């Protein structure tokens, strides 16, 4: 059995819908709140769109400038490829290497410049914790 089957029930349903609609209109604050929010959102959207357009125009301008600079550099490379190279050389000044003869031993006393051997001079292998046998 359907929920609404008689004409009286349909009339009551229509009356309830109209009463609810009228009650909603009566309790509504007048639309100032949503209108203000809509206008604020519209202005914010316009500002973001304008900022995006300005950024896109600046990016396009930079791209055009970069392409122009690239074309200029390609022309310079092509011109330099066919031009003879002119190289002025500075005179060679002879210098003696600086040697410190006052030091004896390695320049770095903290660690030798060569790795430690895996075996000692007598043929025994070093252990993992033989710290006292450093050379």
Query: What is the distance between the alpha carbons of residues 51 and 58, in angstroms, rounded to a whole number?
Result: 11
Which pLDDT score is estimated for 1?
62
Q: 44 falls in which pLDDT band (50, 70, 90)?
A: very high
pLDDT digits (tens, 9 = 90+) for 14-33: 999 999 999 988 887 777 88
Q: Tokens at residue 26, please?
A: 């009566």
What's this model's pTM, rounded to 2 decimal places?
0.38
Report the SS3 class of residue 119: strand
Query: What is the distance between the alpha carbons of residues 14 and 20, in angstroms, rounded to a whole number?
Result: 10
């Amino acid at each position: 059995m359907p929920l609404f089957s008689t004409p009286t029930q349909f009339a009551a349903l229509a009356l309830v819908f109209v009463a609810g609609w009228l009650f909603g209109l009566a309790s509504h604050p007048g639309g100032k709140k949503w209108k203000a929010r809509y206008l604020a959102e519209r202005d914010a959207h316009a500002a973001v769109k304008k900022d995006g357009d300005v950024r896109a125009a600046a990016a396009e301008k930079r791209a055009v400038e970069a392409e122009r600079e690239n074309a200029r550099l390609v022309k310079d490379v092509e011109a330099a490829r066919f031009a003879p190279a002119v190289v002025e050389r500075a005179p060679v000044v002879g210098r003696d290497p600086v040697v410190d003869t006052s030091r004896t031993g390695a320049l770095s006393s903290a660690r030798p410049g060569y790795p430690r051997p895996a075996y000692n001079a007598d043929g025994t292998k070093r252990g993992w914790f033989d710290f006292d046998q450093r050379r």
